[in-house]
Amino acid sequence: RPLLVPVRLERARYDVQIGADMIRRAGARLAPLLPQKRVMIVTDENVAALHLPTLLAGLEETGIRHGTITVPPGEGSKTLAEYGRVTGELLAAGVERGTTVLALGGGVVGDLAGFAAATTLRGLPFVQVPTTLLSQVDSSVGGKTGINTPYGKNLLGAFHQPISVLVDTTALTTLPAREIRAGYAEILKSGLLGDADLFEWCDLHGQAVLDGDSAMQAEAIRRACAFKAAVVADDEREERKANGRALLNLGHTFGHALEAELGYDGRLLHGEGVSIGLRLAFMLSVRLGYCPQADLDRVSAHLERLDMPARISDTGEEFSAATLIRHMQRDKKMRDGRLSFVLVRGIGKAFTCRDVPDDAVAAVLRADG
Ligand code: NAD
Ligand code: ZN
């Protein structure tokens, strides 16, 4: 029996269903929910080779008609060009208002397919079958879809809520260990920003999650999705300035600066930047007098014990504090010339701080670099 996370929003109600073999069972799970017994699958080449035949077998058993659109793997597919090709193929296939777009893949496929679903015929039903740990805990709740532009990441997009999300822990058996760790960083983030129980759970069971224990993975995903669902329900369209969804950026200002400095070239995965960024956010919070040193020590010990990226030097690259701060100043979280950060008063107690002095940030970066 899958674990269920109910997502209850103003304009959408759906469940995230989490368990083993969900891709094989997708046909049976979806049949009662689809407006029309027809889906258009969007996937990438890697995931198609590993998991598409399993999905197709289940769809065929339940008499759901299907077509497949495959994109190259990686962030490079979140472009206007691929969006044009995917929407073109949907229209060429003669989709109707009730035809469901099904994203089978990581966050890249989910964002691209979701944006195509949001805009084709002014909105087609959408189902997510996320296959990376990161997309299972992050993209599966929240309804954000979109693509990148030369002006920045995720700048074209829409909120488009899925009618269902199926999370398959079996898919994680083919995911590289580095990608598992990157996804785990986002689970840890949820605990550290607002769910101290989740952090305690991670401290007890995080190693099992990383080691591929599927029951523990399902439980970690359930807890992270439930936490995110509560935050999103409270701030569905990201309108609250200080709290709400903004807190989900804990660790991200630092993480984005590291990613941006490396030019998003794959040397550092997003979740790896977040893992390091979480510790830096705690260090900054201690330095500014908001957070007890003991909480920072617990976070550091946890990351170290699980062999998670924790220090800037763990990237194997060198960074200057000044360059990283320039990236942060360019980040959209900057307001009126002051750096805005999500900080903590302790584990599970995040808040937004609007005027963080540069020199405190620089000192933390130097202490860690
Ligand atoms: P990804 O989709 O690029 O997947 C990472 C790699 O793993 C790819 O090469 C993919 O082909 C491969 N892969 C996927 N599933 C696999 C499996 N089961 N076995 C083996 N290989 C597999 O990256 P990601 O980390 O999943 O997602 C990152 C993207 O998600 C970013 O573009 C980010 O902006 C977006 N994102 C969106 C949201 C949201 O709320 N919409 C939230 C977080 C991240
Ligand atoms: Zn993130």
Q: What is the pLDDT along the chain (369 residues), one digit of tens a residue?
A: 899 999 999 989 999 999 999 999 999 999 999 999 999 999 999 999 999 999 999 999 999 999 999 999 999 999 999 999 999 999 999 999 999 999 999 999 999 999 999 999 999 999 999 999 999 999 989 999 999 999 989 999 999 999 999 999 999 999 999 999 999 999 999 999 999 999 999 999 999 999 999 999 999 999 999 999 999 998 888 888 778 899 999 999 999 999 999 988 889 999 999 999 999 999 999 999 999 999 999 999 999 999 999 999 999 999 999 999 999 988 655 556 678 899 999 999 999 998 899 999 999 999 986
Question: What pLDDT score does 333 carry?
Answer: 55
Question: Distance, CA 141 to ligand 1 centroid (Å)?
Answer: 14
Q: Are 177 and 271 in contact (CB under 8 A)?
A: no
53 Cβ partners below 8 Å, 6+ apart?
A: none
Give the whole-angstrom CA distance, residue 130 versus residue 113. 12
Residues 167 and 295 in one domain: no
Q: Which residue, judged by its Cα, is nearest atom 42 of ligand 1? A: 139
Counting atoms of ligand 1 from 1, which one is nearest the CA of 73?
11
* pLDDT for res 265: 83
Q: Is the CB of 111 under 6 A from ligand 1?
A: yes
User: DSSP label at 38?
Assistant: E
Do 97 and 221 belong to one domain?
A: no
pLDDT at residue 264 in the model: 82
| Ligand minimally distant from the alpha carbon of residue 108 | 1
The domain boundary residue, chosen from 174, 204, 224: 174
Domain end marker among 174, 192, 225: 174
For residue 146, give the nearest of 182, 109, 121, 104 by alpha carbon. Answer: 109
**What's residue 96's pLDDT?**
98
Q: For residue 70, list its beta bridge partners.
A: 43
- CA 247/CA 257 separation, integer angstroms: 17
Looking at the structure, tell me whether residues 113 and 227 fall in a common domain: no
Q: How far is the CA of 129 from the centre of ligand 1 (A)?
A: 11
Across-strand partners of 356? 339
Is the ipTM beyond the 0.90 threshold?
yes
Q: What is the CA radius of gyration of the chain?
A: 20
Q: From the alpha carbon of 269, which atom of ligand 1 is closest?
A: 25
The answer to whether the CB of 154 is under 6 A from ligand 1 is yes
Site to probe by mutation for ligand 1, drawn from 134, 161, 214, 235 as the one with most ligand atoms within 8 Å of Cβ, is: 134
Q: So what's the pLDDT on residue 347?
A: 98
Pick the closest to residue 90 from 99, 78, 103 (CA basis).
99
Half-sphere exposure in the Cβ direction for 78 (13 Å, CA) = 24
The Å distance, Cα 135 to ligand 1 centre, comes to 6
Domain around 344? 177-368
Residue 105 CB less than 6 A away from ligand 1: yes
Q: Are residues 133 and 185 in the same domain?
A: no
User: Could you tell me if the CB of 181 is within 6 A of ligand 1?
Assistant: no
| pLDDT of amino acid 238 | 84
Regarding whether 69 and 186 lie in a shared domain, the answer is no
* 8 A C-beta contact, residue 23 and residue 129: yes
Q: Pull the structure tokens for residue 62.
A: 């339940």
Task: Check which CATH number belongs to the domain holding 304 and give it.
Answer: 1.20.1090.10
27 and 167 assigned to the same domain: yes
Q: Whose atoms come closest to the Cα of 128: which ligand?
A: 1
DSSP state, 315?
G
Q: Furthest-apart CA pair in the chain: how many Å?
A: 62
Exposed e or buried b per residue across 226-255, where buried means at least 16 C-beta atoms within 10 angstroms of its C-beta: bbbbebbeebbeeeeeeebbbbbbbbbbbb
Q: What is the CATH number of the domain that holds 107?
A: 3.40.50.1970
DSSP states of 79-106 as a string? SHHHHHHHHHHHHHTT--TTPEEEEEES
* Cβ pair 228, 248 in contact under 8 A: yes
Q: What is the pTM of this model?
A: 0.97
Closest Cα to atom 21 of ligand 1: 175
Is residue 212 exposed (0-12), middle (13-18) or buried (19+ Cβ within 10 Å)? middle
Structure-block tokens of residue 55: 């999905």
Asked whether 34 and 26 are in contact (CB, 8 A), the reply is: no
Q: Are 109 and 148 in contact (CB under 8 A)?
A: no
* Cα-to-centroid distance, 358 and ligand 1 (Å): 32
Task: Count up the domains in the chain and report the number.
Answer: 2
pLDDT of residue 336: 61
Q: Which atom of ligand 1 is nearest to the CA of 111?
A: 41
Q: How much distance in Å is there from the Cα of 327 to the middle of ligand 2?
A: 17
**What span, in angstroms and rounded, lies between the C-alpha atoms of 188 and 355?**
26
